[in-house]
């Protein structure tokens, strides 16, 4: 297995390095180690670092950035964790540093570090004179940083952060281990999907040794559903549609439905996975009307590459989990259009 680390040289050139991974640890080729070390040195040299997790955050983006937040504070760095989202998901409120996340950027900073974000737009920050380190694992990443640590064969950005810390011989505290374990577990559906391999489990094993508690983390993330979300499940099970002889399942959530159930945007997280679990379904689609207008579309599959569909709408993601956003439209027309695109891909 190989990972990619890329440094932006200028607007028209870049260099890509590779490093080989073994089952238990990284067999570090010189250039690969250099990229991790360069990224860490860039953080040490910065005056004020802003860690940015993507809008409508999940466990991976929060866990990865909060792990770095803990580490950077421990070495005396001035650091702010920023997320544009006003109402953060309470499923992750147990993570160390969660209460310190700000939704307003500081007036001045010289380095931005993003985790688990494939495009600059999802960070919801303005461009500026600051430098940027882009840490991610999405195959659709747009390499928007000055330094890009993009490992598209990893199951999570949390794994990239782990390798960054290990390459620089940085001690992983119990707090950081908890954050990184949550990042990896959440992005794999607690080890159900994604390209997991021996390295994935070797890393989480090390995180448990550093103090992460798998039972406690699973309980916090998976066993605190709101009553409104349960109502939303009920609505979905009574109103989803099947297409193509039951191979494609779709559900549309309007703001009216959210209001009727008392649900929030956060309550829709991962709800589509229940439709994907149906025995004959190969792809599940959720179309969610957003507060500010427009729609967020989530695509989940068992094996078909749905990131191809997301890219058609300037979105991104992984082979079996991708998404995109569109402006005002007819949700039913959009659903039928997506189904037709899936049919064409399936026929190829």
The DSSP secondary structure of 215-266, one letter per residue, reads: HHHHHHHHS---HHHHHHHHHHHHH-EEETTTTEEEEEE-HHHHHHHT--GG
pLDDT, residue 26, reads 40
The confidence score (pLDDT) of residue 194 equals 80
Exposure string over 299-309, b if 16+ CB within 10 A, otherwise e: bbbeebbbbbb
Euclidean distance between CA atoms 99 and 254, whole angstroms: 30
Residue 122 exposed, middle or buried by CB count within 10 Å (0-12, 13-18, 19+) = buried
Spatial CB neighbours of 204, under 8 Å, sequence gap ≥ 6: 181, 184, 185, 212, 214
The mean pLDDT value of the chain amounts to: 90
Delimit the CATH 3.90.1640.10 region(s) of the chain: 2-222
pLDDT computed for residue 343 by the predictor: 87
Tell me what the mean pLDDT of segment 236-261 comes to: 97
Look at 10-19, 54-63, 75-84, 252-261 and tell me which has the smallest mean pLDDT: 10-19
Closest Cα partner for 291 from 120, 153, 86, 123?
86
Please report the pLDDT score of residue 292 as a whole number: 79
Q: Under a CB-based contact definition with an 8 Å cutoff, are residues 18 and 52 in contact?
A: no
DSSP 42: H
What is the average pLDDT across 47-59? 97
Residue 143 and residue 262: Cα distance in Å, rounded?
Answer: 39
Residue 98: phi, psi to the nearest 5?
Answer: -55, -40
pLDDT of residue 225 exceeding 70: yes
Classify domain 2-222 by CATH architecture. Answer: Alpha-Beta Complex (3.90)
| Cα→Cα distances 88→49, 79, 85, 162, 188, Å | 21, 19, 6, 24, 20
Q: Global pTM? A: 0.86
| Confidence band of 190 (pLDDT split at 50, 70, 90) | very high
Buried b vs exposed e over 141-174: b needs ≥16 C-beta within 10 Å? Answer: bbbbbbbbbbbbebbbbbbbbbbbbbbbeeebbe
pLDDT tens per residue, range 285-302? 999 998 878 999 999 999
Q: What is the mean pLDDT of residues 304-313?
A: 92
Of 6-10, 83-87, 237-241, which range is least confident? 6-10
Mean pLDDT for the stretch of residues 29-33: 59
State the pLDDT at residue 32. 65
Please say if the pLDDT value at position 25 is more than 70: no
Asked if the 227-347 domain carries CATH number 3.20.20.70, the reply is no
Q: Cα-atom radius of gyration of the chain, to the nearest Å?
A: 20
CA distance 36 to 159: 13
What is the location of CATH 3.10.310.30 in the chain? 227-347
Q: What is the pLDDT of residue 137?
A: 94
Query: SS3 letters for 137-201?
Result: CCCCCCCCCCEEEECCCCCCHHHHHHHHHHHCCCCCCHHHHHHHHHHHHHHCCCCCCCCCCHHHH
Task: For the chain, give the percent of residues with pLDDT over 70.
Answer: 90
Average pLDDT for 59-73: 98
Q: Which position has the token pair 């439905």? A: 257
Distance separating alpha carbons of residues 128 and 113, to the nearest angstrom? 13
| pLDDT at res. 15 | 33
Taking the C-alpha atoms of residue 25 and residue 220, their distance in angstroms, rounded to an integer, is 29
pLDDT of 47: 98
Q: Which helix (H) or strand (E) holds 340?
A: helix 331-347
In which residue are the tokens 């992984």 written?
318
């Amino acid at each position: 297995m190989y990972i990619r680390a890329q440094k932006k040289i200028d607007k028209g050139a870049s260099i890509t390095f590779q490093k080989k991974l073994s089952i238990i640890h990284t067999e570090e080729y010189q250039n690969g180690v250099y990229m991790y070390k360069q990224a860490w040195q860039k953080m040490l040299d910065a005056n004020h670092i802003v860690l940015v997790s993507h809008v409508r955050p999940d466990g991976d983006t929060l866990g990865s950035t909060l792990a770095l937040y803990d580490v950077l504070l421990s070495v005396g760095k001035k650091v702010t964790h920023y997320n544009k989202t006003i109402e953060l998901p309470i499923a992750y409120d147990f993570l160390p540093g969660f209460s310190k996340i700000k939704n307003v950027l500081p007036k001045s900073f010289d380095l931005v570090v993003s985790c688990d974000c494939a495009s600059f737009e999802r960070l919801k920050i303005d461009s500026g004179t600051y430098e940027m380190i882009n840490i991610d694992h999405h195959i659709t990443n747009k390499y928007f940083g000055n330094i890009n640590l993009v490992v598209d064969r990893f199951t999570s950005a949390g794994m990239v952060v782990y390798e960054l810390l290990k390459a620089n011989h940085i001690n992983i505290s119990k707090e950081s281990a908890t954050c990184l374990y949550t990042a990896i577990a959440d992005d794999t559906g607690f080890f159900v999907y994604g390209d997991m391999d021996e390295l994935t489990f070797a890393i989480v094993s090390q995180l448990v040794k550093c103090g992460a508690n798998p039972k406690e983390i699973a309980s916090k993330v998976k066993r605190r559903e709101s009553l409104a979300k349960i109502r939303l499940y009920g609505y979905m099970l009574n109103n989803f549609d099947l297409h193509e002889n039951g191979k494609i399942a779709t559900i549309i959530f309007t703001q009216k439905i959210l209001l009727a159930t008392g649900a929030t945007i956060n309550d829709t997280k991962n709800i589509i996975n229940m439709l994907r679990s149906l025995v004959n379904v190969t792809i599940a689609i959720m179309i969610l009307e957003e507060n500010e207008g427009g729609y967020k579309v989530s695509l989940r599959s068992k094996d078909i590459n749905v990131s191809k569909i997301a890219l058609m709408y300037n979105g991104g993601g992984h082979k079996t989990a991708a998404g995109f956003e569109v402006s005002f439209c007819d949700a039913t027309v959009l659903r039928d259009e997506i189904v037709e695109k899936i049919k064409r891909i399936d026929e190829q």
